Amino acid sequence: MHMADALVSPGVGGVMWAASAGVGAYCAAKVRPQIDEGKLPLMGVAGAFVFAAQMINFTIPGTGSSGHIGGGMLLAALLGPHAAFLAIASVLVIQALFFADGGLLALGCNVFNMGFFPAFVAWPLVYRALAGGTPGRGRLTASAVLGAVVSLQLGASAVVLETLASGISQLPFGAFVLLMQPIHLAIGVVEGLATAAVLLYVREARPEVLAAAVKGGGLAGVPVRKVLIVLAGLAVATGAALSWFASTHPDGLEWAMGKTAGVEELPAPATGIHRVLATLQEKLAFLPDYSFRSGGEEAQADEAPSWPAPSAGTSVAGLVGAACTLVLVVLVALLLRRRQTRGSP
Amino acid sequence: MGMKDTGGRTPAHVFDTLALADSPVHRLDPRVKIVATLAFIVAVMSFNRYELVALTPFLLFPAVLFSLSALPARPLLTAVCAAAPFALMVGMFNPVFDHRVIGHIAGIEVSAGWVSFASILMRFLLTVGAALLLVATTGMYRTAMALERLAVPRVFVLQILFVWRYLFVLGDEAAALNRGRVLRSFGRPAGVRLFGRLAGGLLLRTLDRAMRIHRAMLARGFDGTVRFLGDLRLRPADVVFCGGWCLAFAVMRLVNLPRLLGQLLTGAFS
């Protein structure tokens, strides 16, 4: 469920970057005093372990497909929330950079979706609440599965919201939710079982490891109030960004049509979250067609949508121009490439 | 990574090796490369969802980096394709949900959904391409150096370096474990319990290793700071690179260059 840059708008990407950076800085401050106790190499190898463990597969009974561990819940159970968040974030940075898995702009979204939810929601509110200090087999399994399911469901719905708020995909909210949530329910159960299998083995072979993790995490504790404040702040920021987008760019195409063809709207079914939000806003707003207008027009003014409306002249110009640009880019690249390969030994 | 036995060799190995080469792009300060790449991605992603024509000039950035760095094309293309599924999966719904006809090419109706789908593919190619080129010409070590200088918390920079270092060590171990199991099980699938034992065993060895690493670090006087070999210094070329490209992105973002070019060529101005 790594989100790609190609589906994230700078507004959403920026808000999520800020949120993840904030949580990360908080975690770094929390972990720093523990460096002396060997927390750092522990976090490092635990992060690397998540990568490595993905090379060990198991077969999901009855399906023939194979599963592997995702890691968020396992890291939280082993390291406690702060160290786990940093470890997950570092894994995601490396995946974004070296495996092209998730993008740079989407990194904030991905860190939040896959790091914040397991470490700061599923771990304190589900896993630790259920498992307690020294859980039995069944209890440990249940809390790991439930924790993984909860964090993946939250993560998946965050993916849906972030994608829709970005307004690049046109998947309607309902369809997207129906697509994402059931898949991630299945993934969550499998990941939970895999996490439980590893934790059970660790509990059997070296019970003190798990006890230390719960204790270490428990001492630092998770300030539920701070978590709620972060979530509330984020909701407000997202809401503000969303409503701004919804009011200023109700729909890029609509505006393009209005400008080029003189028709504001084509008689077509209105779909997409932007429309939904726009209508919702129209209904709820105290002042319909209100504020931000001037700012909105400024924002739109520099946004010359070049896809041609059905007027032949501009359409041909756009296509011819794009083709020529492509040819120019290829020419420049070839020229530089030849010089480079000739120049280097 | 899947079921294939790759012997622990990942795309990450390939990219870190590519970064050892030497070229004008490799020699640039990693900080300016990071800043320029981020500016590029933000500019590309700030267009509205139906933009396609105005995105074409942005191809210049990855194309120039690719040419100047003299990197081989194959590993880059492999990585781009491997990253494609999510954007493709979500993007392909646009033609399904957006049927409004917005133009004609040679008499064939073009629906808005197809245009926005093409736009997503274009953005995907641009953003993934630029990010991969950044890494393939910089490498993890210099990237971490730049991150530290760009005020990323030190604990986090250390964490990234640690994961990176032990990723390869543990990756080899995990691959050996998996190969051993496959060889002894004659094609029988592994259940989740066996997985727990294999992965759990690896985890416990990993934790012991962390303890040994920590003692070794303390013995060598580790005090929580990262000490990088060599220093980053901004040269005039770095400043020109960063400033020049950011300016170019701003122009490409504000002026629809291809359409101007097209209008000039087809005489639509008059």
CA–CA distance, A97 with A104 (Å, rounded to integer): 8
Q: How close is the nearest chain B Cα to the Cα of A202, in Å?
A: 6
Helix and strand totals (H; E) in chain B: 13, 2
Q: How close is the nearest chain B Cα to the Cα of A201, in Å?
A: 6
**Residue in A170, A302, A324 nearest the CB of B116:** A170
Inform me whether the pLDDT recorded for A296 exceeds 50: no
| Residue A125 Cα distances to A74, A234, B269, angstroms | 15, 19, 64
Inform me whether the pLDDT recorded for B245 exceeds 90: yes
B120 vs A contacts (CB less than 8 Å): 6-7, 168-169
Q: Residue A74: name the closest of A17, A143, A23, A8 by CA.
A: A143
Inform me whether the pLDDT recorded for B267 exceeds 50: yes
Mean pLDDT for chain A overall: 72
Give me the pLDDT at residue A210, please: 75
B82 vs A contacts (CB less than 8 Å): 99-100
**Residue in A31, A32, A171 nearest the CB of B93:** A171
Inform me whether the pLDDT recorded for A173 exceeds 60: yes
A158-181: average pLDDT: 85
Q: Do B128 and A28 touch (CB under 8 A)?
A: no
Q: What percent of chain B has pLDDT over 90?
A: 16
Residue pointed to by tokens 């198991």: A58
Are B99 and B111 in contact by the 8 Å Cβ rule? The answer is: yes
Q: Do B265 and A317 touch (CB under 8 A)?
A: yes
Q: How close is the nearest chain B Cα to the Cα of A49, in Å?
A: 6
Element (H, E) at B101: strand B101-105
Give me the pLDDT at residue A231, please: 63
The string over A145-182, giving b where at least 16 C-beta atoms fall within 10 Å of a residue's C-beta and e elsewhere, is bbbbbbbbbbbbbbbbbbbbbbbbbbbbbeebbebbee
Give me the pLDDT at residue A41, please: 81
B193 vs A contacts (CB less than 8 Å): 197
Each residue of B118-140: pLDDT tens digit? 888 898 889 989 988 998 899 88
Q: Which of B16, B67, B168 to mutate to test the interface with A (most CBs of A within 10 A)?
A: B67
DSSP B169-224: HHHHHHHHHHHHHHHHHTTPPP-HHHHHHHHHHHHHHHHHHHHHHHHHHHHTT--S
The reported pTM is 0.76
Mean pLDDT for chain B overall: 83
Each residue of A182-227: pLDDT tens digit? 888 888 888 888 888 888 888 888 877 777 666 554 434 445 566 6
CA–CA distance, A73 with A80 (Å, rounded to integer): 10
The residue that leads in pLDDT, A240 or A322, is: A322
| φ/ψ (deg, to 5) at B256 | -80, 85
Give me the pLDDT at residue A259, please: 43
Give me the pLDDT at residue B117, please: 87
CA–CA distance, A189 with A118 (Å, rounded to integer): 14
Most confident of A273-282, B76-85, B152-161, B237-246: B237-246
Q: Residue A6: name the closest of B47, B62, B124 by CA.
A: B124
**Residue in A52, A170, A268 nearest the CB of B202:** A52
Give me the pLDDT at residue A237, please: 63
Within B84-138, residue ranges assigned H as helices are 85-91, 94-97, 112-136
The residue that leads in pLDDT, A111 or A262, is: A111
Each residue of A257-283: pLDDT tens digit? 344 444 443 343 344 545 554 454 444
B3-13: average pLDDT: 54
CA–CA distance, A39 with A219 (Å, rounded to integer): 14
Inform me whether the pLDDT recorded for A289 exceeds 50: no
Q: Which of A75, A97, A163, A275 to mutate to test the interface with B (most CBs of B within 10 A)?
A: A97
Are A48 and B163 in contact by the 8 Å Cβ rule? The answer is: yes
Each residue of B27-54: pLDDT tens digit? 899 999 999 999 999 898 888 878 888 8
CA–CA distance, B200 with B178 (Å, rounded to integer): 13
B97 vs A contacts (CB less than 8 Å): 170-172, 175, 271-272
Q: How close is the nearest chain A Cα to the Cα of B158, in Å?
A: 8
Give me the pLDDT at residue B158, please: 87
Instruction: Check if the interface score ipTM surpasses 0.90.
Output: no
Q: List, in sequence order, every residue forming a beta bridge with B110; answer none if it has no partner.
A: B103
A107-121: average pLDDT: 92
Q: Do A324 and B265 touch (CB under 8 A)?
A: yes
What residue of A is the nearest CA neighbor of B41?
A: A105
**Residue in A44, A268, A318 nearest the CB of B163:** A44
What residue of A is the nearest CA neighbor of B16?
A: A98
A236-253: average pLDDT: 47
Inform me whether the pLDDT recorded for A108 exceeds 80: yes
**Residue in B1, B153, B190 nearest the CB of A54:** B1
Inform me whether the pLDDT recorded for B169 exceeds 90: no
The residue that leads in pLDDT, B225 or A295, is: B225
Are A197 and B200 in contact by the 8 Å Cβ rule? The answer is: yes
Q: Residue A169: name the closest of B244, B98, B189 by CA.
A: B98
- How would residue A23 be classed by pLDDT, with cut points 50, 70 and 90? very high
A7-14: average pLDDT: 88
3-state secondary structure of B105: strand
